[in-house]
Amino acid sequence: MNWKILVAVAVILGTLGLLSLTEQGRQYAIFLGKGVGGLIGSVLKFSPGKTFNFDLTANKEAFYGQEFPLPDSIVSISGYGSEAKIGGKVWNLSSEKFEMEMTGSGDFALTADGKVSLNVDAKTFSFDGKKTTDVKVEVELVPAEFSLTNARKDVVNITSASGTLIKSIGESVVTSTFTKASLQIDEFSGLVELKNQTIKLVGTATDIKGI
């Protein structure tokens, strides 16, 4: 936030404090206070189309059905599945939790029942102690944890979401909490992470509606 605006607001607030010492001053202070509130609100308001930083944490169920294109990402995921198709070859997966890590481009989706569908042209790939390069990876699994860097999505719509949103507006930080809310995040770019049964989005957007 511009320091000149901060100084101006501080001066006005100080004036309001002095006016409140008398009854007539209090009435005038109330009138001015409404204007100051509008000023502060306009300073903190986002300009649609302007990119800002945010950090959102919500229950994982709110993201079911979402897809995230991965233009050039690092994918780290652990979970449970029956099989995976790697380089055209089908691999049977054990009943124990396994881990995969890869870099590359493709698509990541959380299905309506909470599974992960992953389709990536991997430049590097690590699985079950084996490493390879330039391989196609296709797998569906029940996730325990995952992390996606450089995920992109024009519009992220989530429903029945409960959690916290932190938005950075210049030098100001605004924190909001929400319960069973419907949110729309425009032009998201950044990190998507599942941990402790919650999903976190950290990155940039041009607008967040619903809060």
Residue 77 binned pLDDT confidence (cut-offs 50, 70, 90): very high
Rounded Cα distance, 15 and 9, in Å:
10
What interhelical angle do 23-44 and 3-19 show, nearest 10? 160
Contact 202, 193 (CB under 8 A): yes
Domain count along the chain:
2
Q: Are residues 75 and 35 in the same domain?
A: no
Q: Are residues 122 and 140 in the same domain?
A: yes
Phi (first) and psi of residue 48, to 5 degrees? -55, 135
Q: Are residues 174 and 96 in the same domain?
A: yes
Q: pTM here?
A: 0.75
Q: Are residues 186 and 98 in the same domain?
A: yes
Q: Are residues 125 and 71 in the same domain?
A: yes
- The predicted pLDDT at position 128 comes to 77
Q: Are residues 22 and 122 in the same domain?
A: no
β-pairing, 116-127 vs 67-80, is unpaired
pLDDT digits (tens, 9 = 90+) for 82-139: 889 999 999 888 778 889 999 999 999 999 999 999 999 999 999 877 899 999 999 9
Q: Are residues 27 and 118 in the same domain?
A: no
Residue 180 binned pLDDT confidence (cut-offs 50, 70, 90): very high
Q: Are residues 40 and 57 in the same domain?
A: no
- The predicted pLDDT at position 41 comes to 40
Q: Work out the number of other CB atoms within 10 angstroms of the CB of residue 46.
A: 16
Q: Are residues 11 and 90 in the same domain?
A: no
Query: Please, which residues have CB within 8 angstroms of residue 146's CB and are 6 or more apart in sequence?
Result: 75, 76, 77, 78, 79, 116, 192, 193, 194
Q: Are residues 31 and 59 in the same domain?
A: no
Contact 68, 192 (CB under 8 A): yes
Q: Are residues 182 and 83 in the same domain?
A: yes
Q: Are residues 27 and 97 in the same domain?
A: no
Domain of residue 25, residue span: 3-44
